[in-house]
Amino acid sequence: MEPTALSERPLYVQQTADARVDTSTDGEFNELYLRSYRRLVVVAYSVTESVAHAEEVVQDAYLQLLRRWDRVENKEAWLRRAVVSLATSWLRRQIIERRVKDATRREPDATACVNLRLMLTRLTPRQRAAVVLRYYEGLSEREIALALSCRAGTVKSLLSRAMAKLKEEYRDADRS
Amino acid sequence: MQTDPESGVQKRLVGAIEAAARTMPLRNGGERGLHALRARAGKPRSSRTFKVLAAAAVVAILGSGAVAAAHELGRDPVSDDFTRLHPDKSDIDDVGVEPHALVAEVAMPDGTRSRLFRTTQEGSKACWDVQQIRADGEQLGNVGFCRAVSSPSLDTVNGVIVGFVPGEDVVSVRATANGQSLDAAVTLNSFLLSPSVASPGMSVTLQPVGSAGEPAAPVVVVVGPT
């Protein structure tokens, strides 16, 4: 086997330098953070099923928002979209690494979190995100479509299938 | 009185979500989390000027073979490839969202984590970005690069080894060097290896594995320098 030589080299480097986040947005950003942090963690948790990773995802989303603050018009909608995207990206990687079960088993969640996780266990990650955005965040199908980067029709279908699964589960539980 | 099954389910669902939200043990909620986030955000980020200097340094190291690149980099710190893949250059800093995807992460013994992001657009080239994050969450810096996605590669970037293996449906790769083997998960044909596995200039055998567990033919790749 012939070794494959490198054909190209790194093209840019980002290290510490002089560009800092604009702090003139402090008050508005702080207010948004304190008001929406927990709710966004719940949204992220619906996808990651891990509070620690949900928090990591949400912190990353806020950081990204802070860095593009002036360019984002609807900041809450942007945050929701970033949170779902980052959480889905995290989950995809975990699934590939086949560590999802281990990771969720390791984390000592509050009982209510475990209950919620069990309740949503039969739903796909996108269905879980859709029901949390609809019934907890109270978003419209159009707003959920923005958060999930899909069409409103897809949201309708995600919600309808999710609710059908949940109803079926409760019927089974009530019978037993 | 009969309850509508749908509203009954909704009621239970909302109750469960609200209970979870109330009792969720958050480490970064409230002022403490805000302070931590501000600390991360307050850390200096990249500047154009720095990129130009860094690019010039890269060009100087590469020598005359990189004259064409020097011209491009002199005109703009980001190459044409990168510009094409990132129409909004400020997105370089926002690598967690499209058109980038987080594809791998490794932790060092000192707790430092390296996270690898890759552009998601299909094409003959792609760009990667390695973020280094200290154990306390502070971001230490990024190094990015673009390359053709035709042949397997290993590059030492920001203290870790960034790997690429072409092919559809590759889910993992076995890297063998110095008689030792290590399996790494592959996402978007990309993976990360700890620097303890190999060092620049070393030959590493890479054997991609498909989702059905079938190994592809091994290839030998020389680890690129920093």
pTM: 0.51
Please state, rounded to an integer, the average pLDDT across all residues of chain B.
71
Distance from CA of B131 to the nearest CA of A (A): 9
pLDDT given at position A99 = 45
Least confident of A30-34, B36-40, B106-110: B36-40
Selected residues 4-63 of chain A with any CB under 8 Å from a CB in chain B: 4-21, 23, 30, 33-34, 37-39, 41-42, 45, 51-52, 55, 58-63
Residue of B27, B28, B138, B142 to mutate, testing the A interface (most A Cβ within 10 Å of its Cβ): B28
Highest mean pLDDT among A37-46, B70-79, B122-131, B177-186: A37-46
pLDDT digits (tens, 9 = 90+) for B11-50: 888 888 888 888 888 888 888 888 888 777 765 433 333 3
Residue type, A90: W
The first and second tokens of residue B74, run together, are: 């002199």
Please state, rounded to an integer, the average pLDDT across all residues of chain A.
76
Closest CA to A99 of B104, B152, B108, B90: B104
pLDDT given at position A130 = 93
pLDDT given at position B130 = 81
Residue of B10, B38, B40, B188 to mutate, testing the A interface (most A Cβ within 10 Å of its Cβ): B38
Beta strands in chain B (DSSP E): 100-107, 113-119, 125-133, 139-148, 153-157, 160-164, 170-177, 180-185, 190-193, 203-210, 219-222
Distance from CA of B196 to the nearest CA of A (A): 20
Provide the β-strand partners of residue B5. Answer: none
Residue A68 CB coordination number (10 Å): 16
Distance from CA of B182 to the nearest CA of A (A): 14
For B106-132, what is the mean pLDDT? 80
For A67-84, what is the mean pLDDT? 86
* DSSP H or E run through A13: strand A12-14
For A58-76, what is the mean pLDDT? 86
pLDDT digits (tens, 9 = 90+) for A112-152: 777 788 888 888 888 999 999 999 999 999 889 888 878 88
Least confident of A91-105, B84-98, B185-199: B84-98
Contacts of A163 by beta carbon, 8 Å cutoff, 6+ apart: A131, B6, B9, B10
Closest partner CB to A4 (pick from B30, B34, B219): B219
pLDDT given at position B4 = 61
Pairs of CB atoms within 8 A across A/B: 250
For residue B5, is pLDDT > 50? yes
pLDDT given at position A58 = 93
Give the strands of the sheet with B203-210, arranged side by side.
Answer: B180-185, B170-177, B203-210, B219-222
pLDDT given at position A7 = 33
What is the chain A residue with the closest CA to B43?
Answer: A20
3-state secondary structure B103-156: EEEEECCCCCEEEEEEECCCCCEEEEEEEEECCCCCEEEEEEEEEECCCCEEEE
How do strand B139-148 and strand B125-133 relate by DSSP bridges? antiparallel
* Confidence bin at A161 (pLDDT 50/70/90): very high
pLDDT given at position B154 = 92
Distance from CA of A15 to the nearest CA of B (A): 5
Distance from CA of A153 to the nearest CA of B (A): 20
Least confident of A80-84, B33-37, B70-74: B70-74
Selected residues 85-104 of chain B with any CB under 8 Å from a CB in chain A: 90, 92-94, 96-98, 101-104
ipTM computed for the complex: 0.73
* Confidence bin at B204 (pLDDT 50/70/90): very high
For A78-102, what is the mean pLDDT? 73
Selected residues 115-174 of chain A with any CB under 8 Å from a CB in chain B: 115-116, 119, 131-132, 135-136, 149, 163, 166-167, 170-171
Burial of B104 (0-12, 13-18, 19+ CB in 10 A): buried
* Phi/psi at A121 (5° precision): -60, -25
